[in-house]
Structure 1
């Protein structure tokens, strides 16, 4: 059964959707898995003793600009039903908005299984997308200008899993995916000075937060040596990441 929650948190049986912080509190009891995962997420972002590395995510949470969805099962069809409406409204949520999707906790799998699951999900999600791929974004992943796109919008994607140990910034108690519209970065990093200051601050926080050095895959969008796909799913060791698909959706369309 799919459940939709309005911004007020009132539930009805229909397609899955998203909610703000008030909606989460109103929709779920304190012992529900949704509330437990959300409280963990909140505690990580608001910790005063261990600053979360993503300063944009922290700012978005404090300003209640993030939106949340809890999917069971977390599959491409359910994600598409949430992501499309979110993107159509996202510019009204604020300059630091993202869509955070939580899945029901289960048995912890090896990290490699979550990596395969993540890329399978993005591949299937590309198949679910009925809007044309943006002309300005190349479809080949091995390109510095590539970014995942859905409903005509380029999106930076981050995956967190319960199997991450050394890279605590990518750890969550369930399989969790964050979709951040590309325009969020465009407005934040609008000049070289502010961009360099922001990246330096994030890297400094990563060094204190994680149990290993920041991934060499982290880079600036559009730089010749940067590949966005390599930043979506970071492993628990610093090693090169092969391009998982030549083009999203190709395997499913064969």
Structure 2
């Protein structure tokens, strides 16, 4: 059995063990999840927070390779124990984002960093890609997999301004297992009502219209990877950078091994 070393629950005793930036990040996240005057659009996320089913990990500078390895360790643990946390669970990842990055990085630079991290994660993944999930991101039922588990990825950054639903003071990920989303959709009529309410909240929360890439998993015109990182306008990448970056990383690893 694996001992949990990297994941936090949100409790007074655990908050007391955190560094100042970690405690501040958690407090800012709490403020987003509990704001009654401006409710966060993702209702399942607010439910997960209120039920204390979310798990948290605090990671260093997102530009450093060590950050990917710590994320890998945390996601390994989360994958093993997530079904014990509840049907609204997600892994919330806070990166210690230096002020220099906050002042200099554009949304597009964070986008590149995000896809670099996903590619680096895959490069060190010890499990095979699930047989039921296509490996081509341009297939409507593709989604990111790690440790044999399909995950929906969400990224927020300090650079997002128009889309406050994608803004956070640190670079942040919310990693949700596909089984959580399947459980949510088990009651189609309830899921439809909640999704409608989410879009209504989103229209009020952001100062820009809902991104055209937001769609439903499995639909022919939907690509999950486009929803992982939404830009601060209505533009998006024409091709998923995941495989290109992963191929580069594997070539780089082989080159180092031969040296």
Distance 1:26 1:189 in 2: 37
Q: Gaps (5+ residues) in structure 2?
A: 252-259
TM-score (norm 1): 0.90
| 1:137 maps to 2:137 | no
Distance 2:206 2:240 in 1: 25
SS of the residue corresponding to residue 198 of structure 1 reads: helix
SS of the residue corresponding to residue 145 of structure 2 reads: strand
Residues 76 and 128, structure 1, Cα contact 8 Å, conserved in 2: no
Which residue of 1 is the match for residue 94 of structure 2? 102
CA RMSD of aligned residues (A): 1.6
Which residue of 2 is the match for residue 27 of structure 1? 17
Shift of 1:241: 2.8
**Cα 1:119/1:246, change in 2 over 3 Å:** closer
Query: Which of 24, 27, 30 pairs up with 1:36?
Result: 24
Query: Which of 41, 44, 66 pairs up with 1:53?
Result: 41
**Cα 1:111/1:240, change in 2 over 3 Å:** closer
Distance 2:43 2:211 in 1: 17
| 1:79 maps to 2:71 | yes
Shift of 1:191: 4.1
Which residue of 2 is the match for residue 253 of structure 1? 250
Query: Which of 61, 64, 85 pairs up with 2:52?
Result: 64
Which residue of 2 is the match for residue 13 of structure 1? none
SS of the residue corresponding to residue 64 of structure 1 reads: coil
TM-score (norm 2): 0.88
Matches within 5 A, 1:98-247: 98-106=90-98, 107=100, 108=102, 109-245=105-241, 247=243
Q: Gaps (5+ residues) in structure 1?
A: 7-15
Residues 69 and 82, structure 1, Cα contact 8 Å, conserved in 2: yes
- The runs of 4+ residues in structure 1 deviating greater than 4 Å are none
SS of the residue corresponding to residue 219 of structure 2 reads: coil
Which residue of 1 is the match for residue 84 of structure 2? 92
Shift of 1:207: 0.3
Shift of 1:253: 1.6
Distance 2:184 2:153 in 1: 17
SS of the residue corresponding to residue 21 of structure 1 reads: coil
Residues 129 and 146, structure 2, Cα contact 8 Å, conserved in 1: yes
How many residues are paired up?
239
Residues 70 and 101, structure 1, Cα contact 8 Å, conserved in 2: yes
Q: Deviations over 1:75-107 (max 9, x none)?
A: 321110100111100000000000001011312
SS of the residue corresponding to residue 235 of structure 1 reads: coil
Distance 2:237 2:186 in 1: 29
Distance 1:82 1:154 in 2: 16
Distance 1:206 1:38 in 2: 22
